[in-house]
Amino acid sequence: MGINREHVGREYRSPQPYEVTRGKIREFAEAIGDPNPIYIDTATARAAGYGDVIAPPTFPVIMGMEGMSQAVVDPELRLDFSMVVHGDQSFAYQRPLQAGDVVETVTRIADIAALGGNERLTLESEMRTAEGELVVTAVNMLVVRGAAEEAGAQGAKGQGSSA
Amino acid sequence: MTATVRYRDVEVGTEIAEQVYPVRRIDLIRYAGASGDFNPIHWNERTAKSVGLPDVIAHGMFTMAQAGRLVTDWAGDPGALVEYKVRFSAPVVVPDDDKGAEITVSGVVKEKLDDNLVRIALTARSGGAKVLARSTALVRLA
């Protein structure tokens, strides 16, 4: 049984605003192995013209995960997370996130489509400050392997729509 | 807020030198914790194999972070990145040993646009497979 197509357009709002902190930025920068001082040293970031340390470009994945997690546990959507692999990801930045930002994320199911034996689920997330300033837009396409047929039929080659 | 690479010094075809980024199991555990993505296919071999994957695979977003670093290190300011998109065309398979896998990333300027913007085409390979396809970064240069 495939993903429930009736849910295109459904929105998931972050349960509470996400506070971007220096400590979380440092932890994330370390996890991706990026030693750029602009992520960890306030003086470096200020010298570059920012108010505080900025976050690496893929940092918004943290807020995107929050929206995705809500979709994953939404029983009406019928998503089997163990069969999910990441297909496409894009970010459009109005500016980099920086420590001190408090952002709210709204994740919308933009599209559900079959592709061979797999299904593609596209999630669009907008991250805005409490004042309504759009900071980042993220588009996340997930491939649910074997969702359009019996699970397991596609094997490892199911990852990515062009694999 | 300013890139160190100057728009006028860059031409279509200008290459960004290839970099190799290692990834071991411990990196995936750490990335799972930092990102909040605890999908077991990124740390549990049993789960990965049970869903038809050859072994544990890296988070796509970990690979995206490495390819992004190639661009931000080159541009000189991560805030110069205006748009960044990737397609995950094959998994980065990370074996359970001390070496793990390597992600080799390179880039080339594909387009010069208005407003000091350039579009970079990115390539990433691992274990002989092209792991990112049709991946681009839009960067505002000085």
Give mean pLDDT, residues B47-74: 96
Give how far A6 is from chain B: nearest CA, Å: 26
Nearest CB neighbour to A160, from listed B33, B36, B88:
B88
Q: Does A118 touch chain B (CB under 8 A)?
A: no
B 46-85 → A contacts, CB under 8 A: 47, 50-54, 57, 59-62, 64-66, 68-69, 72-73, 77-79, 81-85
Provide the mean pLDDT of chain A: 87
Best CA proximity match to A102, nearest among A22, A39, A28, A17: A17
Q: Give residue-wise pLDDT tens across range B2-34.
A: 788 999 999 999 999 999 999 999 999 999 999
Predicted pLDDT of residue B53: 92
Q: So what's the pLDDT on residue B123?
A: 97
DSSP 8-class letter at B96: S
Tell me which chain B residues have a C-beta less than 8 angstroms from the C-beta of A50. 1, 79
Distance from CA of B14 to the nearest CA of A (A): 23
Region B66-91: what's the mean pLDDT? 97
Residue A42: inside a domain, yes or no? Answer: no
Give the burial class of A163: count Cβ atoms within 10 A of its Cβ; 0-12 exposed, 13-18 middle, 19 or more buried.
buried
A39, two tokens: 């992520």
Rounded-to-integer distance, Cα B43 and Cα A80, Å: 18
pLDDT the model gives residue A152 = 40
Cβ of residue A163 closer than 8 Å to a chain B Cβ: yes
- Model pLDDT, residue A149: 53
Pairing of strands A134-144, A102-115: unpaired
3-state secondary structure of A2: coil
Angle between helices B25-35 and B60-75 in degrees, nearest 10: 90
Q: What is the pLDDT averaged over residues B101-126?
A: 98
Domain-located, residue A67:
yes
Cβ count near B44 (within 10 Å): 14
Of A56, A86, A154, the CB nearest to B88: A86
User: Are B64 and A160 an interchain contact pair (Cβ–Cβ within 8 Å)?
Assistant: no
Q: Could you give all domains of chain B from N- to C-terminal order, each with its CATH number?
A: 7-23+59-140 (3.10.129.10)
**Predicted pLDDT of residue A1:** 60
**Domain contains A156:** no
pLDDT at residue A84, as a whole number: 84
Q: What is the pLDDT of residues B84-113, one digit of tens each?
A: 999 999 999 999 998 999 999 999 999 999
On the question of pLDDT at A163 being above 90, the answer is no
pLDDT digits (tens, 9 = 90+) for A102-130: 999 999 999 999 988 899 999 999 999 98
Q: Is residue A44 assigned to a domain?
A: no
| Selected residues 80-139 of chain B with any CB under 8 Å from a CB in chain A | 81-91, 133-134
Among A72-76, A135-139, B36-40, which is the least confidently predicted range?
A72-76
Q: Mean per-residue pLDDT for B53-70?
A: 97
**DSSP classification of residue A116:** T
CA distance A64 to A139: 9
User: What pLDDT does B12 receive?
Assistant: 98
Nearest to B96, CA basis, from B36, B49, B34, B37: B49
Contacts of B78 (CB under 8 A, 6+ apart): A36, A38, A39, A54, A56, A57, A96, B72
Instruction: Give the CATH number of the domain where residue A13 resides.
Output: 3.10.129.10
Instruction: Decide: B62 and B73 in contact? Cβ < 8 Å.
Output: no
Domain that holds residue A63: 5-20+55-151
Number of domains within chain A: 1
In angstroms, the separation between the Cα of residue B82 and the nearest Cα of chain A is 5
